[in-house]
Amino acid sequence: MFIAVYEFEIKDGCEDRFRKAWLQVTKSIYQHCGSFGSRLHYSDKPNVLVGYAQWPSREQWEKDNRLTDELYEVARKEMAECLVQSKTVYKLDVSDDYLQTTLAAQH
Angle among Cα 87, 90, 94 to the nearest 5 degrees reads 150
Q: Tell me, what CATH number does 88's domain have? A: 3.30.70.100
Judge whether 106 lies within some domain: no
Cα gap 36→26, rounded to integer Å = 10
Judge whether 75 lies within some domain: yes
Q: What DSSP letter does each residue of 11-27 carry, written as one string?
A: PTT-HHHHHHHHHHHHH
What pLDDT is attached to residue 68? 83
Positive or negative torsion for Cα 89, 33, 74, 66: positive
Judge whether 98 lies within some domain: no
The range of the structural domain enclosing residue 32 comes to 2-93
Angle among Cα 82, 86, 26 to the nearest 5 degrees reads 75
Judge whether 87 lies within some domain: yes
Whether this model's pTM surpasses 0.75: yes
Judge whether 7 lies within some domain: yes
Residue by residue, pLDDT tens for the chain (107 residues) are: 999 999 999 999 999 999 999 999 999 999 999 999 999 999 999 999 999 999 999 999 999 778 888 999 999 999 999 999 999 999 999 999 898 888 888 76
**What total of structural domains would you count in the chain?**
1
Written as one letter, the residue type at 46 is P
Alpha-carbon Rg for the chain in angstroms: 15
Judge whether 46 lies within some domain: yes
